[in-house]
Structure formats: C-alpha cells, structure tokens
Chains A and B, each alone.
Chain A
Amino acid sequence: MRANEQGLSSLEFRKLQEVPVEAVDASGCAINYQGLDNLLALKELQSLSLRRCPHVDDWCLGRLYQLADSLQELSLAGCPRISERGLACLHHLQNLRRLDISDLPAVSNPGLTQILVEEMLPHCEVLGADWAQGLKVGPEEQSRDAASSPIPAWPSAPPHQARSLPGCAERPTAHPSGSVGLTQLGGSGWGEGRRA
C-alpha cells in the first residue's frame, strides 16, 4: 500500500497523521473484508484503486457505502471475485465520477452489466467491457485491430470517444446472447399484462 507521498522517514510520517488521506492505491494488495476497516475510516477519501485485489469480493463492495460522501474515483479492474451482484451496491456512491469495472472475469455479462451500472450511476463515467467482445471483426478491419491496445487506459477523453475502438463505430445495442429479459418472450399463454 503506497501513500500519495514518497520516501518518507518515520519522523516526517508522524507529522502527517493530521493530513487527511485523499487517495489510496491498493492495487494487487491482499486486502480482505476485515482489512477494509482501515480504508473505510478515511472519511475524506476521494480516489481508491482496488485493481487486481484477489480477496475483494461482492461482500466487500457491500461495505463501500461508507465512503459515499467523499469518493469520486474507484477502480475495481481485474478483481477476480467481483460479480455484477456486488456492483449493484455501488449505487450508494452518488459522488462517484469515474468507475473502472473492466476485466472482471466473474461478471457473467459484461456488456449488459455496464449498461445497468451506467443507468444506476448517471453522473459517473464507467469504464468497462471491451466493446468488441462478442462482435465479429470483418477481414478488412483485422489489420487495424491489431494496433489497438487491449488494456483500457483511465479515460482522459469524453466517454463516447474513450470507448470507441477500431472496427466498432457505434456502441452496440444491448442484445447479448442468452440474456433472458431482452430477447423476445415466447408466448407462454398466461397473459401479457396491462393493468386496467
């Protein structure tokens, strides 16, 4: 765990105990549910990176509401245990402006999840699924595709620009295969309802 500042001696560090911590980069740390106590105590935390933390799971995300007043930036990229169920807890973070939920292997449907998270946090820029996922690249676009970087950078451009990739001019419509709710429902006879 690194603090913002670098190369501190212990004497200097003690002087800084009064300084509120604004950003924490805990990438790759083995922080767990109990360990989060230390972060949740930082009531002025604005930016938190939990990238690739192996023990951060959906239960942990259920605790992040405690940072709702201050947190503006959160990265959960690459956490193996986070699923869309934990992401649902993030709606408490109404001050969040930047959220990275890319590369989450336990999320069952990254494209749909991203849309639902964006709807849930309308003021937040959400970096997530690789938009080319699931789309077939045409032969004439393959050479261009090879040049694109698979690792999403923290966006500095407006959202719609940051998401576009070569060969993928437009945001694909939300129609991932296997999604129950969005495909046409077969007539099951019970009756489509509109309340009288």
Chain B
Amino acid sequence: MERRYWDGKVSEIKKKIQSIFPGGAWNPLYDTSHLPPERSDVVIRLEKQQGAIRVLVVERDHTYARASTVLSVGGIRQQFSLPQNVQLSLFSAEFLRNINEYLAVVDDPPLDLQFNPSGYLLLASEEGAAIMERNVKMQRQEGAKVCLMSPEQLQKKFPWINTEGVALASYGLENEGWFDPWCLLQGLRRKLQSMGVLFCQGEVTRFISSSSHMETASGEQLTLKRIHEVHVKMDHSQEFQPVECAIVVNAAGAWSGQIAELAGVGNGPPGTMQGTKLPVEPRKRYVYLWHCPQGPGLEAPLVADPSGAYFRREGLGNNYVGSCSPTEEEEPDPGNLEVDYDFFQEKVWPRLAQRVPAFETLKVRSAWAGYYDYNTFDQNGVVGPHPLVINMYFATGFSGHGLQQAPAVGRAVAEMVLEGHFQTINLSPFLFSRFYFGEKAQEHCIL
C-alpha cells in the first residue's frame, strides 16, 4: 500500500478524534460497552468544557468473522441459578422486545430480530431435580415466567421426547427463545453511529498509564494505575494511533484476557491483587445444523438434556441446530475455528437421539465453531472497574450467555461509569475483586 495513502488515513482518523462533534444528549442507556462480547475495546474521552463524552470503539475485525456474537445460537433465557443473571436476562428481553424504540434511527427501517418466543426446556435427572426446583422458585421470585413439569406432563406436551431418566423439567413460558444476533449487533452499531460514536478498525497494542503509590488504612502498600493513552495499531501497517482517554472498557470477549494483560492486570506477585489475572480465556464451541424430516414440530422449545446436549429448530423446514459443551478433558484447541465432526458423531448425536428418538435419522448439513469468553473461575460475567487499574472497566467473561445479557450489562457499566455504583441490578458479586478474594459467583446452568 502506498505510504501517502496510509499517512492520509492516519491523519484522517486523528482529525476525527480531535474534532469536536455535536455532543448531543448523553444517554446512559446507550453506552457502547453494551456491544455484545466480541473483539472490541471501547475508549471514552471526557471533554470537561463541553459536557459531552466522546466515545471510540476499536474493532480489530469490522467484519466480525470470529466474533462470538454472530456465531452464537442466539438464545435468551431466564433459567439461571443466580438471581443477578435472571434479572440481567429479564431486562435484556424487555430491551429486545422494544428494540425499535431503544435503537430507532431517523429514516432507517425498523429492526426485525426474528425472535422465536418458544422458550427453553431444561431437563433434570433424579440427581439434579432438587436443585432445579430451587432454581425455578428463585427465578419466579425474580419475575421470570417459568413452570415445572413432571415426566408425565412432559410426555403429554411433547410426545417426541423420551422421558427416560428425566425426573423434572423446567419450561420458560415468556421472554425466552432465540433471535438473530447479527441484527442486534447491526442495530446497536447503527444507533451508536447516529449518536456520534466513532468506530475504528485497528488493534490495541499498548496502554500508557501512570502509577501512584498509596497506603491503605491498614498500612498495606498499593500501586494504583490510570490509563492515559491507548495505542491502536492500523491494519496492515506498523503505524499506530495514540488515543488519549479517560476510561477504557474491556469488552474484548474471548480475547479480554490478553487486553487485560496489556494493561498490567496480573503483573505482580502471586497471591496479591496485583498478581491476580483476569481468568477469561477463549474456549471453542461447535454448533451443528442438521435436517430431520420427522423431527419435533413447530412447538419445540430449545431443549437441553441433563447430559448438556441441546438443540432447537431452525426455520420451517425441519432443520435443527444444536451441540453439547465438551468436558474439561475433551476441550478442543482454541487456536482455530475448525469443526470436529467426530465430536458430533460421538458426543452429540448419541445423546440427542436418546432423548429424541426421531433424531436417530438425520443428516448434518453444516457446522461452525465460535468462542465462549470463558471465565475459568466461576463461568460468570466480570463487570465493573478493576480495583487497581482504576479506569479500566470490564464487560466480559460471560461463558456463553453474554449475548442475551448484553443490553443489561451495558446499562450496568454505564451506571458504574457515570454514577460510580450499580443502580438497577446489583452486580457487585460480578466485580473483578472476587478473583482475589476467592468468592465465587458460580452459575450452574451453563449450556
């Protein structure tokens, strides 16, 4: 590429960032950090004189080819074991239901999320029945519309299920189902662009920060850091654009751990807060699409077997998507997004066919793989500021349920940034500091 072209590009970006664009009304609900977990970092610059906040979203890949969002099966449920997760999902459902009010852009057509309100059906064995009952009680207390079903009721409602080994089932009656994640992503981008948020394709390669040494009341020495500048490397170039910033939101999905490391998170003696890394790493998950002419009909929810295998319908033509999460020993190499069809043959199909006998005859049509931003500590989101890198906020680690919580998480981060504390949903159990204190906010209902 010509040197002159790149100089031009870089200075164009410089101009954009330095220019004063109409601040408009700052609406806390539309903070860019509620972009679904993907490879992106968000940098916010505070402009004191104007009262306006300028936002820059840095995407390494603006085609989102490997982003978890667009590779997701697109489900949303409230059937979780933690009340915070239920609340996050309930608000997000309301957001999706009213998406054309939240994300309306003048002269642009309304969004069609293609939402299927068919619900999730979780099956429990004898072993898991008591826990399921407890969870459902809590979910209903939080406002979720979930009901319990006995094996007999299950058989009557969904005759295509083999209820052998099923002691109890929980079924979401409202606000659960699946939708088109690409549509949500594009809707958010479009709205943000209309509000003056800048998008930049590039890779964050460095943080420049300053430190100050403090002493706590108990005499403990602390080093607090504040990020002042982010280096964004241009594509196909060694050039980087330094961006001054007041706040950084790490919403880099499966790669959040790397970004955190760049900011010095985890650089310290083990067993200290400084030495505590962000325990989020990419985990590869497969999704298979198959055709089954005699498969479950239009009424089929997203069914999750006690073994962890799950499926749902896709369209009107008796096609289905589904998969199963591997055990720790089976974890595939996350270095690439190649699909292992043997995994379907050996781990997914037998379990699905046992639960739905019609699936004994099927034909796989295609498959793909995507990443979970997997929190190895407790499989739950990390939200809010780092205790030492005081202006880095996290919105990551959702381990496969990030898409369905994204709108609510964005609101939570906005509340943190603007007010200094959570306002609507108390996500204190999701703060980074829990990794140091060993306080797990364990989510048990992971698919």
Given known contacts A59-B97, A193-B364, A88 and B316 CB-to-CB distance under 8 angstroms: no
Q: Which residues on the B side are within 8 Å of A191 (C-beta)?
A: 363-364
Q: Which residues on the B side are within 8 Å of A192 (C-beta)?
A: 363
Q: How far is the CB of B28 from chain A (nearest CB, A)?
A: 24
Q: Whole-angstrom distance between the alpha carbons of A181 and B314 in the complex?
A: 10
Contact indicator A65/B173 (Cβ below 8 Å): yes
Partner of A194 from B116, B360, B365 at Cβ < 8 Å: B360
Q: Whole-angstrom distance between the alpha carbons of A180 and B365 in the complex?
A: 11
A61 within 8 A of B: yes
* Chain A residue at minimal CB-CB distance from B178: A85
Q: How far is the CB of A130 from chain B (nearest CB, A)?
A: 18
Looking at B293, B316, B363, which has the most chain A CB atoms within 10 Å of its CB?
B316
Contact indicator B315/A181 (Cβ below 8 Å): yes
Q: Whole-angstrom distance between the alpha carbons of A109 and B366 in the complex?
A: 23
Q: Which residues on the A side are within 8 Å of B115 (C-beta)?
A: 58-59, 85
Contact indicator B298/A120 (Cβ below 8 Å): yes
Q: How far is the CB of A157 from chain B (nearest CB, A)?
A: 26
A33 within 8 A of B: yes
Q: Whole-angstrom distance between the alpha carbons of A193 and B295 in the complex?
A: 14
Contact indicator B316/A109 (Cβ below 8 Å): yes
Partner of B361 from A87, A91, A194 at Cβ < 8 Å: A194
Contact indicator B361/A88 (Cβ below 8 Å): no
Contact indicator A185/B299 (Cβ below 8 Å): no
Interface size on B, residues (CB 8 A): 31
Q: Whole-angstrom distance between the alpha carbons of A86 and B365 in the complex?
A: 26
Q: Whole-angstrom distance between the alpha carbons of A83 and B116 in the complex?
A: 9
Q: Which residues on the A side are within 8 Å of B114 (C-beta)?
A: 83, 85
A119 within 8 A of B: yes
Q: Which residues on the B side are within 8 Å of A33 (C-beta)?
A: 97
* Chain B residue at minimal CB-CB distance from A113: B316
B297 within 8 A of A: yes
A100 within 8 A of B: no
B291 within 8 A of A: yes
Contact indicator A86/B317 (Cβ below 8 Å): no
A77 within 8 A of B: no
Q: Whole-angstrom distance between the alpha carbons of A92 and B147 in the complex?
A: 13
Given known contacts A88-B117, A116-B298, A117-B298, A185 and B291 CB-to-CB distance under 8 angstroms: yes
Looking at A86, A87, A117, A190, which has the most chain B CB atoms within 10 Å of its CB?
A190
Give residues of chain B (322-349) contacting chain A, Cβ–Cβ below 8 Å: 341, 349
A84 within 8 A of B: yes
Contact indicator A112/B349 (Cβ below 8 Å): no
Q: How far is the CB of B335 from chain A (nearest CB, A)?
A: 24
Contact indicator B365/A120 (Cβ below 8 Å): no
Q: Which residues on the B side are within 8 Å of A190 (C-beta)?
A: 341, 363-364
Q: Whole-angstrom distance between the alpha carbons of A74 and B370 in the complex?
A: 42
B244 within 8 A of A: no
Q: Which residues on the A side are within 8 Å of B360 (C-beta)?
A: 193-195
Give residues of chain B (285-314) contacting chain A, Cβ–Cβ below 8 Å: 291, 293, 297-299
Contact indicator A116/B97 (Cβ below 8 Å): no
Partner of B298 from A87, A92, A179, A193 at Cβ < 8 Å: A87
Q: How far is the CB of A21 from chain B (nearest CB, A)?
A: 23
Contact indicator A85/B297 (Cβ below 8 Å): no
A142 within 8 A of B: no
Give residues of chain A (62-104) contacting chain B, Cβ–Cβ below 8 Å: 62-63, 65, 83-89, 91-92
Q: Whole-angstrom distance between the alpha carbons of A65 and B173 in the complex?
A: 8
Q: Whole-angstrom distance between the alpha carbons of A86 and B114 in the complex?
A: 10
Partner of A84 from B97, B173, B298, B365 at Cβ < 8 Å: B298
A188 within 8 A of B: yes
Q: Whole-angstrom distance between the alpha carbons of A85 and B302 in the complex?
A: 13
Given known contacts A112-B316, A181-B293, A195-B353, A88 and B116 CB-to-CB distance under 8 angstroms: yes
A182 within 8 A of B: yes
Q: Whole-angstrom distance between the alpha carbons of A120 and B296 in the complex?
A: 10
Partner of B315 from A86, A89, A180 at Cβ < 8 Å: A180
Partner of B317 from A61, A181, A195 at Cβ < 8 Å: A181
Partner of A119 from B116, B297, B341, B366 at Cβ < 8 Å: B297
Q: Which residues on the B side are within 8 Å of A87 (C-beta)?
A: 298
B174 within 8 A of A: yes
Q: Which residues on the A side are within 8 Å of B293 (C-beta)?
A: 181
A143 within 8 A of B: no
Give residues of chain B (95-125) contacting chain A, Cβ–Cβ below 8 Å: 97, 114-118
B319 within 8 A of A: yes
* Chain A residue at minimal CB-CB distance from B118: A88
A164 within 8 A of B: no
Contact indicator A61/B298 (Cβ below 8 Å): no
Contact indicator A116/B297 (Cβ below 8 Å): yes
Contact indicator B117/A59 (Cβ below 8 Å): yes
B52 within 8 A of A: no
Give residues of chain A (150-196) contacting chain B, Cβ–Cβ below 8 Å: 179-182, 185, 188, 190-195
> Can you name 13 A-B residue pairings with CB atoms under 8 Å?
A58-B115, A59-B117, A85-B177, A87-B298, A89-B118, A91-B299, A112-B317, A190-B364, A191-B363, A191-B364, A193-B349, A193-B363, A194-B361
Using a CB–CB distance below 8 Å, which chain A residues touch chain B? 33, 58-59, 61-63, 65, 83-89, 91-92, 108-109, 112-113, 116-117, 119-120, 179-182, 185, 188, 190-195
Using a CB–CB distance below 8 Å, which chain B residues touch chain A? 97, 114-118, 173-175, 177, 291, 293, 297-299, 315-319, 341, 349-350, 353, 360-366
